[in-house]
Amino acid sequence: MRFQISNLDFFYGPKQALFGLSLNIPTNHITALIGPSGCGKSTFLRTLNRMNDLIRHSHYTGEILLDGQDIRKIDAVNLRRRVGMVFQRPNPFPKSIFDNVAYGLRINGYQGRLADLVEHSLRRAALWDEVKDILHKSALILSGGQQQRLCIARALAVDPEVLLLDEPCSALDPVTTAKIEELMFTLKDSYTLAIVTHNMQQAARASDFTAFMLDGRLIEHRETSRLFTTPSDPRTEAYITGRFG
């Protein structure tokens, strides 16, 4: 188990957003988090790399272990290097494609040849062939799907153990979405992935485990194939059959 989460309560100031969440995120698998808008999936994901630390007056109780170690005891900068993140909207820096991928390496004081690792990361993100001749052009000239794969390459460059994806395809068309899903599948051999998605077909297609959340609570968490065929909770069934959300 890469992440072990138990009794997680999360608060934005006085407002509680997550209630007693307990689940494990297994190594080298894809875990999908589904649920209607505002159910706390993104909040949960952003707790895992302490990105919520940036939000004033937020805090959590309970325990989150990464490889058995409490993440509160890990320096936040180190933790984020180990737990990479891809965001809902592609957010490349307004720099060149090369500099985008190299950024994480530079700030972490990488000593080897940058160019090799940039190429390697872009290959892993299945983007190399499309950008190898325009590495020093602005990342902003790329299409949305290319930008999102660039953001994945940027996250992979610092060689994290976990990759958190926060609705990475919500701004993309179906063809590009398929590319990203294919990419996730090839990445799970080396990484642990957790993906928040609005799209139930995506969860069903691309994940090994699925967690269904509702109103800040974890309703059900099982193998994806079983959750979608024989949900044990009536609310899960209602959601996946499209009766709400």
Partner 1 sequence: MSNAIQTAGSVAPSHEGPRAWLRRFVSGDEVAHIVTLLFASTILAITGLLVLQLWTNSRLSRVQSGWHFFFMQTWDPVFEHFGALPFLYGTVVTTVVALVISVPLGLGAAIYLAELAPRKISDVLAFLVDLLAAVPSVIYGLLGIFLVIPLMREVIEPFLKRTMGFLPIFQGPAYGIGLLTGGLVLAIMIVPFIVSISREVLLVVPREQREAAMSLGATRWEATWHVVVPYARGGIFGSIFLAMARALGETMAVTMVIGNDPRIAASLFSPGYTIAAVIANEFSEATYPLYINALVELGLVLFLLTFVLNGLARLLILATEQRGVAHS
**Phi, psi dihedral angles at 174 (to 5 degrees):** -60, -40
- Kindly state whether residue 69 participates in binding partner 1, applying the rule CB under 8 A: no
Per CB under 8 A, the list member of 19, 63, 81, 237 interacting with partner 1 is 81
Which range of residues in 35-43, 119-127, 148-156, 211-219 is near partner 1 by CB under 8 A? 148-156
Closer Cβ to partner 1, 46 or 221, answer by number:
46
| Distance of alpha carbon 213 from the chain centroid | 16
- Kindly state whether residue 87 participates in binding partner 1, applying the rule CB under 8 A: yes
- Kindly state whether residue 108 participates in binding partner 1, applying the rule CB under 8 A: yes
Residue 59 near residue 11 (C-beta atoms within 8 A): yes
Name the residue among 218, 219, 236, 160 with its Cα closest to residue 18.
218
- Kindly state whether residue 175 participates in binding partner 1, applying the rule CB under 8 A: no
- Kindly state whether residue 96 participates in binding partner 1, applying the rule CB under 8 A: yes
DSSP string covering 49-83: TTGGGGSTTEEEEEEEEETTEEGGGS-HHHHHHHE
- Strand 58-66 to 3-12 pairing: antiparallel
- Kindly state whether residue 12 participates in binding partner 1, applying the rule CB under 8 A: no
Return all residues near 226 (Cβ < 8 A) that are at least 6 apart: none
Distance in angstroms (rounded) separating the CA atoms of residues 102 and 182: 24
Per CB under 8 A, the list member of 33, 39, 64, 80 interacting with partner 1 is 80
Query: What residues between 128 and 147 interact with partner 1 by CB under 8 A?
Result: 137-140
Closer Cβ to partner 1, 122 or 214, answer by number:
122
User: Which residues bind to partner 1, rule: CB under 8 A?
Assistant: 49, 51, 54, 56, 77-78, 80-81, 84-85, 87, 89, 91-96, 103-104, 107-108, 137-140, 151, 154-155, 158
